[in-house]
Structure 1
C-alpha cells in the first residue's frame, strides 16, 4: 500500500442557464484501490459585470476508478440575486486527488 497525490485543474468556459459539470482524469503509478478528491482552490466570476451573489457551488466527486486512473467531476454554479442562472459565469476548480495504491506499479 502507498499513498499518492495528483493535482488537477478543471476549466469552465463562460456559460449561462445551467449548473456546469466537467471532469478530468489523473493517472497514478499503481492500481488505485481507493481515492478521494479535495478542493485546493477555485475561481468563479461573472462575465458580464457586477452582480449580487445568491449562490455559489463548487463540488467534487470521484466518478470512476479504473486501474491506475481516477476521474474527478466538478459541479460549478454561480447564481445572482434574481434566482435565475441567466448571466454567463466561468472559472476553474483546482483539486488534489489522494489515492491508496497497490504496492507494485503496473507494467
Structure 2
C-alpha cells in the first residue's frame, strides 16, 4: 500500500484569459482574479485544505515559495511531499493574498 498525500481540493488551472472569459459572463456567480494560478472549485469537507481555511474561489499562487501555475504542478508538489508535512500555501482571496499552512494527510480510499 502506497500512501498518497493530499490537500482535498478540486482545482482548475487558472489563466488570465480563462478568468477574463468568466468575468465577462453576466451569469457568472463569481469574479475571478485575472492571474495565473490554481483556482479552487471545491474544498473536500474535513480535508487538510478545509482545516487550513482554504475556501472555494481561492487561487493558489505558491507552495513553499515556489510559483504554482497549473493544477498538474500543484498535484506534483503535493505528491512529492511527505505525509504530515506542512506546506506554506499563498492564496489570493478576492483582492487580498494570504499565507496558509496546510498539513498533508493520507488520501483515504473511497471504497
Scaled by the length of structure 1, what TM-score is found? 0.27
More strand by share: 1
Higher fraction of helix: 2
Q: Which has the larger radius of gyration?
A: 1
